[in-house]
Chains A and B, each alone.
Chain A
Amino acid sequence: MSRRRDNYETSRWLRFKKWVDGETDPLSSGMDAIPVVTEGQMRERRKNLALRKAYDEELTRLSAEHADKTEIMKARGIRNFQKFYKVMSVILCLAIISVLLWTIAALPVTGGADNPANNEVAARYIEKGLQETGAVNIVTGMILDYRAFDTFGESCVLFIASCCVLVLLRLDADSKNDNIKKMIAESDDRHFEPKDDIILQKCACVLVPVIMIFGIYIVLNGHLSPGGGFSGGAVLGSGLILYLNAYGYKKMSRLFTEKVYRRTTLCALTFYCLAKSYSFFTGANHLESGIPTGTPGAILSSGLILPLNICVGLVVACTMYAFYTLFRKGGM
């Protein structure tokens, strides 16, 4: 005696039979596309989210006092998931580390003079770098002359990153959108800190010139001593930031506005671009570049490296300052 099937209507056999008869079509069921997420699911998700938030708060409270057990039961599912998540991340971390350690064990020993990396490339940079680029600091010579295309790309990275930050954070005062006006008002967080702090101002008075001079020194001596456009520019940028913090936007705007920023960046990058294009073009076509390298060791030496360092320094300083102001109040 077989079991009676009272759900024949939903059985697989009937569906198969219908399909054989051509009455249903498994494919066309998706034709009337409805939103995948129904209202109920949505509510469920919100509830879950709220639950998780509640759980986070709960956790802090639970640690202090004993709560009733149902709460813990509710939270347990999420906690298990989070535990699993943590375990997974630790496992992933260990897996990556062990694979790479396994690699490291097969690599040449650090500090060996015969390692494959120390080959004729590095040798030529050291042996002839001084004559070919005129820079005493071989690293600077390398990045600004031998491998200048990389470095140019790097400046472009900085440039485009600042453009992206501008897109995100710049708030235009003449915007018609009320929302943005509100945001401008909100973003002026100046009132959260003390104004005209005398100690800060006096310290800045002493420190800013020192920092600036140090930055300029790093930039100008990039080809002679450690440092160069990037590090010097960053130091200059921090000097500007300190000044801004001590004396406020009003004083700063006399010295440095968005227009100045744009023009400086544009001029520096244009010069950089043109100078390097010239040297790439002459190099590739085997022409003499005609730029003197000067006496090694003198400040005015090493051909294009010094002006390029200055350009890079300007761009970096302006960009760092721009980052700061954009983060602070969405404008300069």
Chain B
Amino acid sequence: MRLFECILLLCLIVCAVSVAFTRDLLTSIIIFMSYSLLMCLIWMILQSPDLAITEAAVGAGVTSILFFLTLKKIRAIRKEEQNEQEEG
């Protein structure tokens, strides 16, 4: 169990650092989502299911949805801009 926890913690660090260095925003959002899920697992191991369930619903769920939405919105704006440029 201890080993498993250590691996999870290591993964956390890897995720956090790769969030900083990924160029593509979509990838980094997905990495961030997996970061939240890993955190959720660690909290299960630390005997805090309350936190785990909240993190799963709020952190991994809603926060990631919001990130995706933002990205989508930005892409939509970018696309529109390109359309306008092509027309003009």
Residues of chain B within 8 A (CB-CB) of A237 are 62
* Nearest CB on B from A163, distance (A): 16
> Which residues 275-332 of A have a CB within 8 angstroms of B?
320, 323-324, 327-328
**Given that A186-B80, A237-B62, A238-B61 are contacting pairs, would A228 and B69 also be in contact in the complex, using a CB cutoff of 8 Å?**
no
Cβ distance B42 to chain A, nearest Cβ, rounded Å = 12
- Given A226-B49, A227-B50, A228-B50, check contact A238 B72 (CB 8 Å): no
Whether A139 and B50, one on each chain, are in contact in the complex, defined by CB atoms closer than 8 angstroms, is yes
A231 in contact with B54 (CB, 8 Å): yes
B65 close to chain A: CB less than 8 A? yes
* B66 touches A (CB below 8 Å): yes
Contacts A189-B76, A226-B49; A234 near B54 (Cβ below 8 A): yes
A320:B62 contact, CB within 8 angstroms: yes
- Which residue of chain B is the closest to A165 with respect to CB atoms? B66
| A230, CB-defined interface residue at 8 Å | yes
* Candidate in B52, B56, B69 with the most chain A CB atoms within 10 angstroms: B69
Nearest chain B residue, comparing its CB with the CB of A326 = B69
Tell me whether B73 and A327 are in contact (CB under 8 A): yes
How many Å lie between the Cα of A186 and that of B77 in the bound state?
8
Q: In the complex, how many residues of chain B place their beta carbon closer than 8 angstroms to a beta carbon of chain A?
A: 21
> How would residues 243 to 280 of chain A score, 1 for a CB under 8 Å from any chain B CB and 0 otherwise?
00000000000000000000000000000000000000
Interface residues of A in 167-207 (CB under 8 A from B): 186, 189, 192
B78 to chain A, nearest CB (A): 12
Q: Which residue of A lies closest to B54 (CB)?
A: A231
List A contacts of B61 (CB < 8 A). Answer: 234-235, 238
Q: Which of A137, A139, A231, A327 contacts B57 (CB 8 A)?
A: A231
Interface size class of A (residues with CB under 8 A): 20 to 34
CB-CB contacts of B37-50 with A at 8 A, as 1s and 0s?
Answer: 00000000000111
**Chain A residue with the shortest CB-CB distance to B49:** A226
Assuming the A-B contacts A137-B50, A192-B76, A234-B57, are A327 and B70 also in contact, with contact meaning beta carbons closer than 8 angstroms in the complex?
Answer: yes
- State whether the Cβ of A224 lies closer than 8 Å to any Cβ in chain B: no
Q: Does A136 touch B at the CB level, under 8 Å?
A: no
CA gap between A231 and B62 in the complex, in Å: 11
Question: In the complex, which residues of chain A have a beta carbon less than 8 angstroms from the beta carbon of B66?
Answer: 323-324, 327
Say if the beta carbon of A241 comes within 8 Å of chain B: yes
Q: Which of A139, A230, A231, A328 gathers most chain B CB within 10 Å?
A: A231
Assess whether B53 is in contact with A226, with CB atoms less than 8 Å apart: yes
List A residues at the B interface (Cβ < 8 Å): 137, 139-140, 186, 189, 192, 218, 226-228, 230-232, 234-235, 237-238, 241, 320, 323-324, 327-328
Taking A227-B53, A234-B58, A323-B62 as known contacts, 14 extra A-B pairs with beta carbons closer than 8 A to each other, sorted by chain A number, are: A186-B77, A189-B73, A192-B72, A226-B52, A230-B57, A231-B56, A234-B54, A235-B61, A238-B62, A238-B65, A320-B62, A327-B66, A327-B73, A328-B73
